[in-house]
Amino acid sequence: MMIKILSLYFLLLFSFNVLGMNEIDTKIFIDSNTLYDQGDYKSALSKYHELIDRYPKSGELYYNLANAYYKNGELGKSIFFYIKARKILPRHGDVKYNLEYARNQKIDKQENNKDLLDLFNIPFNEDELLILVTVFALFFWSIMIISLYRKNFIIISTRYIAIILLFLTGTLLTIHTFSKKEIGVITSPEASVFSTIGVDSIKLFTLHEGSEVVVVDKKDNWILVTLGENRKGWIPSDKIIN
């Protein structure tokens, strides 16, 4: 199946976001979609980035940006921005589909590229979980106050339900918070990973475009990355997006 990228879908996907944009940004968005539809992906990318600078929490923008990078032949950057979109839009089926589709184009097949959010299949982003925890906490304390004056089966049952809901959402928020890690994706066709900083050091292994790594440290123009406990090394910063 072809990757799901349609001009009409762009407009539908952004129907809510555009309403929150000012007149200038709405025009930039429309121009971006027009450029994408015309196959001018580089110009569309420039405008999408301009919008993201002002709307850094827009999962839809990251999704459209990733689509444009994919169509422009930049697999690594498309995967990176699909990942960012998925963290904000965890229930969006097309984001998940396109991310998996792009991952299947990689040379290096990685079995360990799922994080805790994928493993637990958490259907909410961090902001949504924070809102849910707040709502359930208020609900719980409201029930506790009511139970001081009225005690019956319904009140007692509701109190236990509130406790369970608060516990579940609190646990999910904790998982979401502690599973955070800085992800990097290889953007060059081939990138060597070295034992220490400098191309004269020992070459440990080679990664290819689209490979996903965890960023551990940064120094000068080098980034320390890991692919697991036994695969770790330094890579030039111009070979990776993070």
Q: How confident is the model at residue 7 (pLDDT cuts 50, 70, 90)?
A: very low
The answer to whether residues 158 and 174 belong to one domain is yes
Eight-state DSSP code of residue 241? E
Q: Which residue has the higher pLDDT, 197 or 177?
A: 197
Structurally, the chain folds into a number of domains equal to 3
Instruction: Find the CATH number of the domain harbouring 11.
Output: 1.25.40.10
Same domain, residue pair 171 and 190: no
pLDDT, tens digit, for every residue of 26-57? 888 889 989 999 999 999 999 999 999 998 88
Report yes or no on 111 lying in a domain: no
User: Which CA distances in Å does 154 have to 99, 136, 158?
Assistant: 45, 17, 6
Q: Is residue 50 part of a domain?
A: yes
Position with higher pLDDT, 211 vs 156: 211
- Angle, helices 93-103 vs 75-88, to 10°: value is 150
Which helix (H) or strand (E) covers residue 69, if one does? helix 59-71
The Cα 182–Cα 110 span in angstroms is 17
Give the domain range for residue 235: 183-241
Q: Which of 40, 70, 105 is the last residue of a domain?
A: 105
